[in-house]
Structure 1
Amino acid sequence: MLTLFARLRPAWLRQTPRCLLCHGEGGDLPICADCETELPWLAGHCVNCALPLPTSGLPCGDCLKRPPPFERVEAPWRYGFPVDSLITRFKHQARWPLGRLLGELLAQHLEQAFNDGLPRPDVLLPVPLAARRLRQRGFNQAQMLARWLGDTLGIPVQADWLRRVEDGPPQQHLDAAARRRNLRRAFALDAGVNVRGLHLAVVDDVLTTGTTAHVLARALKRAGAARVDVYCLARTPKPGDT
C-alpha cells in the first residue's frame, strides 16, 4: 500500500530518479539514502525554540528567562553543511528543485511530529518579504515552502495575511540587538483578517536569533491567535557552538 506521502508526492519528483546531491540513484525523493543520512539532522534541542542542545525535552536558558510568544519551533536540521549550501542556492540562486526537496523532507518531518502528538495548525502563514526585496529576488522562498507544505499536508495557506510594511537591511548582516530594532515595526496583519482562536504556524527557511519569529508570534497573539508555532528548514546553533 502506498504511504500518504508517496500518494501525495508531486509528479515531477516521481520522475526524478537521480539524487540531487551526489547524482546517484535516488529513492522516493530525488535524494539517495546515503546523502539523506548525512544531512545535519537536529538531535538534542530546546523544547521551545529548537536551539541545538546536548539533550532534548528541556528549554534553553534564553527561553527560561524570556519565554517566547510561540509555542514550538519545528526544524528537521541544524544549519550546517550541506543544508546551509542547499538553502543558499534555493534562496539566492533560484534553485527551486533544491528548495522543493527540502520542503518535501520538512513535510515528512512534520507529518511524523503530528503523528507523535504535535497539534496540526489551522493555517500556514509564510513570513512576508518587503516589496523591494521581492522584486529583486523574484520570489518569496518562505511562501514557496508554505505552498509545498500546504499541498502535501493538506493545510490551508494564507500568503496575504501578514505584510512587511517596513524594509530595513537584511537580517543576516545584523547582530541580535540590531535585528530587534530592524523588525520593531516591520510587520502588520492585513486589515480585516480575523485570527482569533486560530492555531497558526509561521513558515520560514532558517531560524537564527528568532527575532522574526518573536515579532510575528507576538503580533498574532495580540490579535487573538490561540497558538503560534514556527516551521522552518533549519535552526542555527549559538555562535561558537560546533
Structure 2
Amino acid sequence: MSAWPQRDTMAGMLRALLPSTCALCGEAADAAVCAPCARQFVAAGAARCRRCANPLGGADAGLACGACLADAPAYDATVAASDYASPLDQLVLRLKFGGALALAPWCARTLHAAVLAAPGFALPELLCPVPLGPARLSERGYNQALEIARPLSTLLGIALQPRLTLRRFDTPAQSGATALERKNNMRHAFLVAPDMLAQVRGRHIGVVDDVMTSGHTLNALAATLKRFGAARVSNLVFARTPPH
C-alpha cells in the first residue's frame, strides 16, 4: 500500500475519534470553520485597493484608492482575506486574546487563497510577522501574527524569518485609540534586528498580521524595513477593518 492511502486512512480515523465542530455554527467540520460558513462570511474575490486593501467598486478592482493616490503609504501592496466584521471578528479576538491557536491554520489557508487570487500580486521573497513588544508577548505567551505566518509560509513556499524585525518598546493598545493616537503610538516603534540586515537589503518583504485597521502599525513597520534597505513591502493580513 502506498503512503498516500495510509495517510488518508489515518486522517479519517483521527476525524472519527476526535470530531471537530465549526467555530461559527457548531456543526461538524473538517476545519476550524466549515465550508458553508466560509462561503457565507469570507468575502472571497471582493474588489479592494491594491495598496491598502480597502473596499472598492467592482470596476476599480486592482487599482489604488483615492486616499493612497493622494498620500501613498510606505507599503506597496496589501492582500486581505476578509473584512473585520461579524462573525469573523470574533474568531480573530479568540485567536488574539483567547489562546484559540487552532484557528491560525484556517486563517492562513484562507489568506493563502486570497493571495493566489489577488490580481497582479507579486509574491514576497521573505515573510515576517508583525512583532509584539516584550511585555505583551510575555503576557500573552504567543504572537498571533506568527501563528498565522508559520502555516502561510509553508503554503506559499516562502521562507519565514520570525525575528526579522523587533518592536523596540511596548506601544499602547491600538484598539480604542483615535487615528492620530494610533499614528503617534507607532513612531520609532520598530527596528530591523542587527543580525538580519542582509536579509532585508534589496528584497521584497511580506509582513503578516491578523488585522489591519488604520494601517499605522503596518505603515510604520514598512517604513522601517525600507529605511534598512527593503526594495518592496507587502502586507498579508487575514482581516481588514472597513473604513467608517
> Per-residue deviation at 1:140?
0.4
Q: Of residues 58, 71, 76 in structure 1, which corresponds to 2:76?
A: 71
The 1:33/1:143 distance shift into structure 2, 3 A limit, reads: closer
2:53 counterpart SS class:
coil
> Per-residue deviation at 1:76?
1.3
Deviations 1:119-145 (A, max 9, x none): 221110100000000111110001111
2:230 counterpart SS class:
coil
> Per-residue deviation at 1:225?
1.0
2:102 counterpart SS class:
helix
Correspondence for 1:216: 221
More divergent stretch after superposition (140-149 vs 36-45): 36-45
Gaps of 5+ in 2: 1-6
> Per-residue deviation at 1:17?
5.9
1:203 counterpart SS class:
strand
More divergent stretch after superposition (94-103 vs 155-164): 94-103
> Per-residue deviation at 1:181?
0.9
Relative to total residues, which structure has the larger strand share, 1 or 2?
2
Gaps of 5+ in 1: 1-6
Deviations 1:130-176 (A, max 9, x none): 00001111100011111111122221111111001121210112111
Q: 1: distance between equivalents of 2:226 and 2:135? A: 28
Correspondence for 2:115: 110
Conserved in 2, the CA contact under 8 Å of 1:72 and 1:229?
yes
Identity of aligned residues (%): 39
1:88 counterpart SS class:
helix
1:172 counterpart SS class:
coil
Q: 1: distance between equivalents of 2:21 and 2:35? A: 12
Correspondence for 2:161: 158
Q: Of residues 112, 120, 123 in structure 2, which corresponds to 1:120?
A: 123
Q: 1: distance between equivalents of 2:20 and 2:113? A: 19
Q: 2: distance between equivalents of 1:109 and 1:124? A: 16
The 1:63/1:30 distance shift into structure 2, 3 A limit, reads: same
Q: Of residues 165, 168, 172 in structure 1, which corresponds to 2:171?
A: 168
Q: 2: distance between equivalents of 1:73 and 1:206? A: 12
Q: Which structure has the bigger radius of gyration? A: 2
TM-score (norm 1): 0.86
The 1:24/1:122 distance shift into structure 2, 3 A limit, reads: same
Q: Of residues 33, 36, 42 in structure 2, which corresponds to 1:31?
A: 33
Correspondence for 2:201: 196
Q: 2: distance between equivalents of 1:168 and 1:226? A: 27
1:201 counterpart SS class:
strand
User: RMSD between aligned alpha carbons?
Assistant: 2.1
How many pairs does the alignment contain?
Answer: 226
1:221-232, aligned counterparts within 5 Å? 221-232=226-237
TM-score (norm 2): 0.85
Q: 2: distance between equivalents of 1:19 and 1:136? A: 28
Correspondence for 1:182: 185
2:105 corresponds to 1:100? yes
Correspondence for 1:145: 148
Q: 2: distance between equivalents of 1:129 and 1:93? A: 16
More divergent stretch after superposition (51-60 vs 73-82): 51-60
